[in-house]
Amino acid sequence: MDDKLAELTSEIKKCEACHLKENRTQVVPGVYGPKNSLCFIGEAPGFYEDRDGVPFVGRSGKLLDKMLDSIGFSRKDVSILNVVKCRPTDEKKDNRTPKESELRFCGDKWLFKQLKFLTPKLIVTLGGISLKFFFPTAKVTKSAGNILTLEEGYPVFATFHPAYILRNYNKIEEYDGHFQKIAEVYNQTNGEKSRKKSKRSEQKSLTDFI
Ligand code: SF4
């Protein structure tokens, strides 16, 4: 990892700038792949992420891994981040969706700094909350499958959160199509070797993903 990115990550790990520090086990800065690759961005850590310090573990993480594998990528090839780095919890200490103010505060504080080092070819927002961080008026139901462009110049591909797909299996073919498009866009903008073709056609049911 680039020394400056390592320095930034160690700063993020020590962050106590907002109230979400109170119930977290640890900060989850994200995992980094190479520069100029794909960067997947979710909303915030949940129970398992908070416990393990890694984004997208548990069933959602497994589905994300399988979707990556279907387009010839693995976790080491991509960066996986969340907008909010500490687990938001409700009064019962269960997971909750981060509030707009929490997204704005943590995302503005750290996310763009991380992106500046990673310079992703394509940002992929996973779910409506991370999409809203970048495009406050966008709705994932309308934007999913499309590329939007940030003022900073990064292209952003909007798609669903894997947890949503696990609850809505009828969307799996659409999700697969999104990942195919992600690979196509990446390959079009990448001078390096193209990734292998999808293995999705070999996968017949949700049990292939979990
Ligand atoms: S949520 Fe973000 S801003 Fe708040 S303490 Fe955690 S890292 Fe810092």
The tally of CA atoms less than 13 A away on the side-chain side of residue 131 is 20
Structural domain range at position 68: 3-208
Element (H, E) at 81: strand 79-82
CA of 65 to the centre of ligand 1 (A): 26
User: For every one of its 210 residues, what pLDDT tens digit does the chain have, with 9 covering 90 and above?
Assistant: 789 999 999 999 999 999 999 999 999 999 999 999 999 999 999 999 999 999 999 999 999 999 999 999 999 999 999 999 999 999 998 999 999 999 999 999 999 999 999 999 999 999 999 999 999 999 999 999 999 998 878 899 999 999 999 999 999 999 999 999 999 999 988 755 445 444 543 443 444 444
Domain containing 85 — which CATH number?
3.40.470.10
In the structure encoding, which two tokens stand for residue 181, read together? 């498009």
Q: Distance between CA atoms of 100 and 136, rounded to whole angstroms?
A: 9
Ligand 1 lining (C-beta closer than 6 Å): 12, 15-18, 20-21, 27, 84-86, 105-106, 109
Sequence-separated (6 or more) residues with CB below 8 Å from residue 35: 2, 117, 118, 119
Residue type present at position 45? P
Q: Enter the pTM of the model.
A: 0.91
**Number of folded domains that form the chain:** 1
CA of 92 to the centre of ligand 1 (A): 20
CA of 106 to the centre of ligand 1 (A): 5
